[in-house]
Amino acid sequence: MNKQILKDVMQRVETWPDADQAELLEYALEIEARREDGPYHASPEELKGINRGLRDAAEGRFATDEEVKAVFAKFRHGQ
């Protein structure tokens, strides 16, 4: 790995739009997480999503198995 190339790219990243920088950051954090021997630490945004899913589950907002089967049956049979 040529460290100078990495340094050059990282300098150019600072000129990228915020959304592109955020995307690169997500990838970098995923790679970093794979390298760590400890437990995975969810990002604040991931924690919000997890909490939202748990809240939805507690409030019964998910489809039942029967509802899911009915939807699949409808689209498989073109009804």
pTM for the model: 0.44
For residue 66, the enclosing domain spans: 3-76
The residue whose two tokens read 């073109």 is 78
SS3 annotation, 5-60: HHHHHHHHHCCCCHHHHHHHHHHHHHHHHHHCCCCCCCCHHHHHHHHHHHHHHHCC
Q: Tell how far CA 67 is from the center of its chain.
A: 27
The number of distinct structural domains making up the chain is: 1
Q: What is the residue-level pLDDT of the chain in tens, covering all 79 positions?
A: 689 999 999 999 999 999 999 999 999 988 888 776 777 778 899 999 999 999 998 998 888 899 999 999 988 876 5
pLDDT at 55 (0 to 100): 94
pLDDT the model gives residue 36: 67
